[in-house]
Amino acid sequence: MLGMAAMGLSGASRAAAYPSRALTLYVPFAAGGIADSNARLVAEKLAAALGQPFVVDNRPGAGGNIALGVATRAAPDGYSLMFGTNGTHAANRYLYKDFPYDPLRDFVPVHGLFADFNVLVTGAATPFATFDEFLVQARKRPGQLTYASAGVGTAQHLVAELLQQVAGIRLLHVPYKGAGLAMNDLMAGTVDVMFDYPITSLPLIGAGKLRALVTTGLRPLPSLPGVPTIAEAGYAGAQSSVWSGLFAPRGTPAEAVETLSGACGRVLADPAVQARAAQNGTELLGKLDARSFPAFVAAEAGRWQGIVQSAHVQL
């Protein structure tokens, strides 16, 4: 009896000890970008909350699919995690013709993290000063106004496809090999509009090089007074965000998932994290824990499936 009790206590101690070593966070983007910056912030805060270091392992390429494959094959022991997005865990399954993963089956959604909204920007010399004026021009000249993106299948591309479907307009897509090249041509007037992140557009808007037309968020951005949300402009169906969350390989122990989910909730309640989010125009997904996040991910997968298929986009 005493031996069995001791074994039970030993097992309980091992369970309570999680995590007892370093954890790895796979990030599907190169170092230095917005997603990487958010992932590193989360890793830093989670390390403090859990008392163990986090190793950020950047695996960029193929729209996030390289990191997705690595994380899918990782041991489901609670020590290998992924910073997933609506690309890796919702849209990519329908974007890529030969997609070998099923993110809804292969991963456990642990906790939602960030939702970054876009702003539709145009060069300072374009003839439309407001979103309504842009729509008038788009309807007068179907297929002639151009929009830039960082590439086919990127968030900028898909958000623009969603806008066209909801607003009933037709634009010409001009994909670039990176957002920087697209932005340069936007400011030069080579292309007409582009969806971008506020964190990168705000300095250029302030300098008079870009003009903001509309945002895709739920609420107006304090940093862009007078710029309406897409819902305020009358097209609520085009509201969208580039969201991210923490995922674990399917089979990860429920106790580890609960521990990680609770730690994420504490991280998102951190005043420093909240202040940074407010500065960047980012919404924190603090209510999407291990119980509610799976339904959110499933709904987003269904939504982006419809958008991708309606736009006839395939990679």
pLDDT in tens, 26-61: 999 999 888 899 999 999 999 999 999 999 999 999
Specify whether the CB–CB gap between 22 and 79 falls below 8 A. yes
pLDDT per residue as tens digits for the range 246-279: 999 999 999 999 999 999 999 999 999 999 888 8
Mean pLDDT across the stretch 67-77?
97
Specify whether the CB–CB gap between 27 and 81 falls below 8 A. no
Q: Give the per-residue pLDDT at 248.
A: 98
pLDDT per residue as tens digits for the range 90-116: 999 999 998 999 999 999 999 999 999
Torsion from C-alpha of 98, 176, 201, 84, nearest 10 degrees: 20
CB neighbours of residue 154 within 10 Å: 22
pTM of the model: 0.88
Helices (H), the chain: 2-16, 34-50, 65-73, 92-95, 103-106, 131-140, 155-167, 179-188, 198-206, 254-268, 271-280, 293-311
